[in-house]
Chain A
Amino acid sequence: GQNIDQPTEMTATEGAIVQINCTYQTSGFNGLFWYQQHAGEAPTFLSYNVLDGLEEKGRFSSFLSRSKGYSYLLLKELQMTDSASYLCAVMDSNYQLIWGAGTKLIIKP
């Protein structure tokens, strides 16, 4: 079967750095996406990785290792508004997105 694993919840401090991990087992791989979802809102796109390595976008970076079936999302200089769920999704061989359950990130002052 296909499986995406993420921690259920993480807590971090405003101004700090946090890393959210995602491991996956899917039928084929055509890229990995990270989305942010605030409570009661739709997911919004953060990043896409298809090749191994680090993609940096401002305060957010995403890393991929295809051989290990592993990705992480790195958030720097945390702000209170970064409190949200972070969803990892993998596009399988049928170009279908397989979603993790999301990691709820709580930012404390």
Chain B
Amino acid sequence: DAGVTQSPTHLIKTRGQQVTLRCSPKSGHDTVSWYQQALGQGPQFIFQYYEEEERQRGNFPDRFSGHQFPNYSSELNVNALLLGDSALYLCASSFSGQGASNQPQHFGDGTRLSIL
């Protein structure tokens, strides 16, 4: 039973470029959340996708966008990259069915994005 998988594991980009990060949720999960984690900080919520729609969004600019596919996998796109976008990007999957509020989110290993 595969857990949450993310690709790529590491990525180096320059300012102004665009990046796409990918996530496959844990089997049986239908909801994907994306987080940005700076060094020494807790994860910051970017947005959450359910039924191919953005269900919730954190305090991130429109440069951050996403998508969820029919197989529940998801992409995070960041345009016009800034130096401050350098961080670990974590994908977490969960189940949104009945009784789901107490179900933990399961995290992938993350993509470490470095902006030069």
Residues of A that sit less than 8 Å from B by CB = 4, 30-31, 33, 41-45, 48, 50, 87, 89, 91, 94-102, 104
Interface size class of B (residues with CB under 8 A): 20 to 34
Is B7 interfacial (CB-CB < 8 Å)? no
Number of A-B residue pairs at CB separation under 8 A: 52
> Of B11-19, B62-70, B78-86, B98-106, which binds chain A?
B98-106
A102–B41 touching, CB < 8 Å: yes
Which residue of the partner chain B has the closest CB to A94? B56
Contact assessment for A95 and B101 in the assembled complex, using a CB-CB cutoff below 8 Å = yes
Give CA–CA (A89, B107) in the complex, Å. Answer: 14
* CB <8 Å contact, A31 and B56: no
Please give, as numbers and ranges, the residues of chain A lying within 8 Å of B4 by CB-CB distance: 42
Q: Report Cα–Cα, A96/B33, bound state, in Å.
A: 10
Residue B28 lies at the interface, judged by CB distance under 8 Å to chain A: no
How far apart are A2's CB and chain B's nearest CB, in angstroms? 11
Question: What is the minimal beta-carbon distance from A64 to any residue of chain B, in angstroms?
Answer: 13
Interchain nearest-CB distance for A60 vs B (Å): 14
Contacting pair B104 A48 (CB below 8 A): yes
A43 CB, min distance to chain B CBs, angstroms: 5
